[in-house]
Structure 1
Amino acid sequence: MVSLRVRQGDRVRTGDTLLVIGRREGAEAQIASLLENVHKEEANLGRVKRLLEINGNSKEQFEQAKTAYELAKARLVKAQESARDFSVVAPWDGLTSQLFTEVGDYNYTNPRRPLIEIYDPTSLVVRISVPERYAAHLKYKTPVSVTLDAYPDTVFGASISRIYPYLDERMRTRTVEVTITGNVDLMPGMFARTRLQAGLIESALVVPTQAITTTPDAKSIAFVMSDGKAWRRVVRTGIEEDGRVQITDGIQPGDSVIITGIMSLSDGRPVGIIRGENKSGVVPNATEPQAVKATATNSPDGPK
Structure 2
Amino acid sequence: MYKFTFFSLTFFTLISCSEKRETISPENTGIVEAVYASAVLEPYDYYNVNASASGILEERLVNEGDTVDKGELLFHLTDITSRLNEESARLSLALAKANYEGDGNLLAEVNAEIQTAKLKLLNDSLNFFRQKELFERNVGSKAEYDARELAYNVSKEQYGVLQKRKKRTEKELKTQMKQAQNAVESSNVRSGDYTLSSRMNGLVYAVFKEPGEYVTMQETIAIVGSADEFLVDLSVDEVDIGRIRKDQKVIVKLEAFPNQVFEARVSKIFPKMEDRTQTFRVQAVFDTIPENFYMGLTGEANIVIAEKEKTLVIPRDYLVDGKHVETTEGRKEVKTGLVSMSHVEIISGLSAGDKLFKPE
Give the superposition deviation at 1:246: 5.0
Count residues with an aligned counterpart: 245
SS at match of 2:243: coil
Please name the residue that 2:64 is paired with: 8
User: Which of the numbers 247, 253, 261 marks the counterpart of 2:348?
Assistant: 253
Q: Confirm or deny: 8 A CA contact 1:224 1:255 kept in the other structure.
A: no
**TM-score, normalised to structure 2's length?**
0.54
Higher relative contact order (CA 8 A, sep 6+): 2
Please name the residue that 2:225 is paired with: 119
Q: 1-side partners of 2:276 and 2:73: how far apart?
A: 41
Q: 1-side partners of 2:167 and 2:250: how far apart?
A: 72
Please name the residue that 2:34 is paired with: none
Residue type at the aligned position of 2:357: T
Matched, 1:37 2:92: yes
Within 5 Å, which residues of 2 pair with 1:51-70? 55-57=163-165, 64-65=172-173, 67-70=175-178
Please name the residue that 1:270 is paired with: none
Q: Point out where structure 2 has 5 or more consecutive residues left out of the alignment.
A: 1-56, 112-159
Which structure is higher in helix share?
A: 2
User: Which of the numbers 188, 202, 205 marks the counterpart of 2:295?
Assistant: 188
Q: Confirm or deny: 8 A CA contact 1:143 1:158 kept in the other structure.
A: yes
Q: 1-side partners of 2:286 and 2:331: how far apart?
A: 50
Give the superposition deviation at 1:140: 2.5
Determine what percentage of the aligned residue pairs are the same residue: 20
**TM-score, normalised to structure 1's length?**
0.62
Give the superposition deviation at 1:212: 2.4
Q: 2-side partners of 1:132 and 1:239: how far apart?
A: 20
Q: Confirm or deny: 8 A CA contact 2:323 2:336 kept in the other structure.
A: no
SS at match of 2:96: helix
Matched, 1:20 2:76: yes
Deviates more, 1:85-94 or 1:235-244: 235-244
Q: Confirm or deny: 8 A CA contact 1:164 1:176 kept in the other structure.
A: yes
Within 5 Å, which residues of 2 pair with 1:31-110? 31-41=86-96, 44=99, 55-57=163-165, 64-65=172-173, 67-105=175-213, 107-108=214-215, 110=216
Q: Confirm or deny: 8 A CA contact 1:225 1:255 kept in the other structure.
A: no
Residues 207 and 114 of structure 1: CA distance in aligned 2, closer, same or farther (over 3 Å): same
Which of 1 and 2 has greater Rg? 2
Q: Point out where structure 1 has 5 or more consecutive residues left out of the alignment.
A: 214-218, 264-304
Matched, 1:138 2:233: no
Give the superposition deviation at 1:87: 2.1
